[in-house]
Structure 1
Amino acid sequence: MTAPTTSPAPGSDALALAGRVLLAAIFILAGANKATDPAGTIGYIQSVGLPLPEVAYGATVAVELIAGLALIAGYRTRIAALALAGFCLVSAAIFHNQLGDQTQFVMFFKNLAMAGGLLFVAAFGPGRYALGR
């Protein structure tokens, strides 16, 4: 037996675009902020003991900016959403794992929530207002 098909709700394409923009904004802002302070960001990466902090810095800035912009544009949306979801999960585990600290607790679960939203985008696509359609 196959599941019944349903048509999208009115306005769902506009909602999908708004959701993509809102999800992507934090990554673009964070990536731009990191790009303007490489020494500070590399120092923070070093503080948690990651190897090759300069490489991690470059990869982080690239993922946040490129995947964030792709998500807004709706270009290779599923790939961008999966990359950002993975980034959220990895950064939660590495940088926000001190759950006894209230701020880190909130940041950890914020990252999980963002990953959940991004997985929805990966599962259901960008909607009609997207370059990749």
Structure 2
Amino acid sequence: MNTTNFTTLIGRALLAAIFIISGFGKLADPTGTIAFISSTGAPLPELGYAIALLVELGLATALLIGYRARLVALLIALFTLVTAFMFHFDLNNQMQTIMFLKNLAITGGLLQIAAHGAGGLSVDAYRR
């Protein structure tokens, strides 16, 4: 097994894990999640909830298996950047600042996948 392919797979898995775990948390508590989205003043909290589930469960699973990884990573990166500014941009709150910076770092990792692809251990490689 090629070391680059293995590390790329691990990188995708680690990035996908945070979204998949978060998505299952949202799925387990839709009322609480929608209430949280509402509390931030975000418009259409039910739609936001549905988009979050689509990204965190659907797109993150596609990222994990490396299916259309460049496009999927770009879409998740956009979602992550938007959520950073919508929910975590409070630089007077240390925890929110950390969450904001975490989202920026995750966005950077996703942009690496968007630029370089899923690697050899992926559906994308198999399809080629």
TM-score normalized by the length of structure 1: 0.91
Q: Give the letter aligned to residue 62 of structure 1.
A: L
Q: Please give the alpha-carbon distance, in whole angstroms, between the structure 1 residues aligned to 2:117 and 2:43.
A: 35
Q: Please give the alpha-carbon distance, in whole angstroms, between the structure 2 residues aligned to 1:131 and 1:82.
A: 17
Unaligned 5+ segments in structure 1 are 1-9
Q: Does residue 74 of structure 1 match 2:52?
A: no
Q: Does residue 36 of structure 1 match 2:28?
A: yes
TM-score normalized by the length of structure 2: 0.94
SS at match of 2:120: coil
Q: Deviations over 1:86-113 (max 9, x none)?
A: 1110000000011110100000000000
Aligned identity (percent) is 48
Would you say how many aligned residue pairs link Structure 1 and Structure 2?
A: 124
Quick check: which has more Rg, 1 or 2? 1
Unaligned 5+ segments in structure 2 are none
1:114 to 103, 106, 119: 106
1:93 to 85, 96, 105: 85
C-alpha RMSD of the superposition: 0.8
Higher helix share: 2
Q: Give the letter aligned to residue 10 of structure 2.
A: A
Q: Please give the alpha-carbon distance, in whole angstroms, between the structure 2 residues aligned to 1:118 and 1:51.
A: 26
Q: Give the letter aligned to residue 85 of structure 1.
A: A
Q: Residue 64 of structure 1 corresponds to which residue in structure 2?
A: 56
Q: Does residue 53 of structure 1 match 2:45?
A: yes
Q: Please give the alpha-carbon distance, in whole angstroms, between the structure 2 residues aligned to 1:43 and 1:18.
A: 34
Structure 1 residue ranges, 4+ long, deviating more than 3 angstroms after superposition: none
Q: Give the letter aligned to residue 30 of structure 1.
A: S
Instruction: Give, in angstroms, the shift of residue 50 of structure 1.
Output: 1.3
